[in-house]
């Protein structure tokens, strides 16, 4: 399973990032493929929170962002990930890392902070 972080989706759907082309190609390939793709609820929430912020370049109306998310979740290989055994005040990075490990996945992210989680397999698909 490949688990996506919000930054990859924001680069892919924002259109203003220098990483847009690579991210868009990566996401389109993943969503149209057969390998399972996991979207943690934290990733979806971050996409909504950041992607609809009118103070940021590339923002979109909430209805448009929700429509994009609904389209992702309609793909047969895409599923929303929710924690099975989460407790305590975990930061969102730790929750995403834990979900990725729990589902035996590889986290696709451009955030190097994920290197601090032992046992997490991660890759920057934009490099």
Residue 44 has pLDDT above 70, yes or no: yes
Integer Rg of the chain from CA: 14
Q: Which residue has the higher pLDDT, 108 or 116?
A: 108
Domain with residue 106: its CATH number is 3.40.50.1010
Q: How confident is the model at residue 93 (pLDDT cuts 50, 70, 90)?
A: confident
Residue 37 has pLDDT above 50, yes or no: yes
Please give the average per-residue pLDDT across 66-81, as a whole number: 96
The closest alpha carbon to 5, from 108, 105, 104, belongs to 108
pTM of the predicted model, to two decimals?
0.74
Please give the average per-residue pLDDT across 40-63, as a whole number: 91
Residue 91 has pLDDT above 80, yes or no: no
Percent of the chain with pLDDT over 90: 69
Q: Give the distance, in angstroms, between the CA of residue 49 and the centroid of all CA atoms in the same chain.
A: 13
Please give the average per-residue pLDDT across 22-31, as a whole number: 96
Highest mean pLDDT among 60-69, 79-88, 91-100: 60-69
CA dihedral 26, 1, 5, 64 (to 10 degrees): 70
Please, what sign has the CA dihedral across residues 45, 58, 78, 30? negative
Contacts of 52 (CB under 8 A, 6+ apart): 59, 60, 61, 62, 65
Separation between Cα atoms, residue 125 and residue 127, nearest integer Å: 6
Separation between Cα atoms, residue 84 and residue 11, nearest integer Å: 29
The pLDDT value recorded for residue 86 is 43
Range of the domain at 94: 2-123
Question: Hey, which bits of 41-93 come out as E strands?
Answer: 78-81
Tokens encoding 27? 């996401």
As for how many domains the chain has, the answer is 1
């Amino acid at each position: 399973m490949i688990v996506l972080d919000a930054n990859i989706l924001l680069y892919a759907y924002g259109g203003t990032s220098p990483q847009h082309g690579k991210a868009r190609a990566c996401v389109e390939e993943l969503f149209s493929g057969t390998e399972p793709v996991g979207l943690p609820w934290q990733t979806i929430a971050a996409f909504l929170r950041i992607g609809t912020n009118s103070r940021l370049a590339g923002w979109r109306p909430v209805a448009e962002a929700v429509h994009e998310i609904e389209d992702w979740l309609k793909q047969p290989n895409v599923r929303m990930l929710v924690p099975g055994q989460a407790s305590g005040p975990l930061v969102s990075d730790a929750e995403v890392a834990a979900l990725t490990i729990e589902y035996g996945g590889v986290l696709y992210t451009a955030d190097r902070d994920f290197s601090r989680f032992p046992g997490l397999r991660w890759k920057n698909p934009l490099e």
